[in-house]
Structure 1
Amino acid sequence: MKKSKSIAGMVGPTLIVMVLSELKLWNPTLYDTQIVPLIYLNGVLLFIAGLAIVRGHNIWNFSWQTFVTLVGYIGILLGIFRMFFPHIQKNEFKDNGFILSLELLLILLGAFLTYKAYFQKTSNR
């Protein structure tokens, strides 16, 4: 549980701040001049972060801790996708409802993990 709270305490706030700073409402020109090497570098960083989470926290149970593990696997998959297909990411980012829905989902996941890490008391089981 301590490891889960530690990782959630890093991943939760990072998701919130990262996604909020990338919102089209906040930063409308961020993706206008994307270049493939930066998308690739982002993929490398996502892959490394995801792999670190999975290696240190591969917990599959019926609790909130599974969300931490899922974030790691999503990081690995998204990192691989961005490393092997950066040109697709460059061309596909449009201002549409799916992207906004995904961003809102990530903000909620970040808020949930932040709550679990910082505000929920640990039971003595």
Structure 2
Amino acid sequence: MLINLGMYESMIAEALQLGILFYLSGLLSLLAGLAIVNLHNRWQMEWRLIITVLGWLMTIGGIIRIVLPRVAIAIGSTIYSSRASTIVAALIIGTLGAFLSFKGYKQRG
């Protein structure tokens, strides 16, 4: 995201429009979130809790996009209102992805 920041900013702006793409993203987020919650609903205080929380956030986000799309657009517009906030979001997503990849693929032993 950081390498192609301009492209992602235009994609985010395009995605924050009411339409079938917005509804479809909500539906896919809801389905993926429900799958994660059904298969990985663990509430122990360890790193795997992040996966459970992400599953619930995806489920709630999908429901909000489907049921209250204008609220979801307002929230998304607030989060991605400036280039700095887009960079912060990209850094958070990248760090979280790297952490989960490290933990998921680390050799047990």
> Shorter chain as normaliser: what TM range?
0.7 to 0.9
- Distance between the aligned counterparts of 2:38 and 2:11, measured in 1? 32
Shift of residue 96 of structure 1?
Answer: 4.4
Shift of residue 42 of structure 1?
Answer: 0.3
Count of residues in Structure 1 that have an aligned counterpart in Structure 2: 102
Match of 2:100 among 106, 110, 113: 113
TM-score by length of 2: 0.75
Over 3 Å counting, the alpha-carbon distance change for 1:101 and 1:47 in structure 2 is: same
Over 3 Å counting, the alpha-carbon distance change for 1:99 and 1:27 in structure 2 is: closer
Matches within 5 A, 1:82-101: 82-90=65-73, 92=77, 93-101=80-88
Q: Indicate the residue corresponding to 1:104 in structure 2.
A: 91
- Distance between the aligned counterparts of 1:60 and 1:32, measured in 2? 35
Over 3 Å counting, the alpha-carbon distance change for 1:82 and 1:99 in structure 2 is: farther
Q: Indicate the residue corresponding to 1:16 in structure 2.
A: none
Instruction: Give the helix-richer structure, 1 or 2.
Output: 2
Q: Indicate the residue corresponding to 1:24 in structure 2.
A: 5
- Distance between the aligned counterparts of 1:43 and 1:106, measured in 2? 19
Q: Structure 1, residues 17-58: CA drift from partner, whole Å, max 9, x if none?
A: xxx38x633434223444422111101100110010000010
94-103 or 76-85: bigger deviation: 94-103
Unaligned ranges ≥5, structure 1: 1-19
Q: Quick one: higher RCO (CA 8 Å, sep 6+), 1 or 2?
A: 1
Q: Indicate the residue corresponding to 1:47 in structure 2.
A: 30
Unaligned ranges ≥5, structure 2: none
TM-score by length of 1: 0.67
Q: Say what the alpha-carbon RMSD is for the aligned residues.
A: 2.3
- Distance between the aligned counterparts of 2:85 and 2:53, measured in 1? 20
Shift of residue 100 of structure 1?
Answer: 3.1
- Distance between the aligned counterparts of 1:68 and 1:32, measured in 2? 27
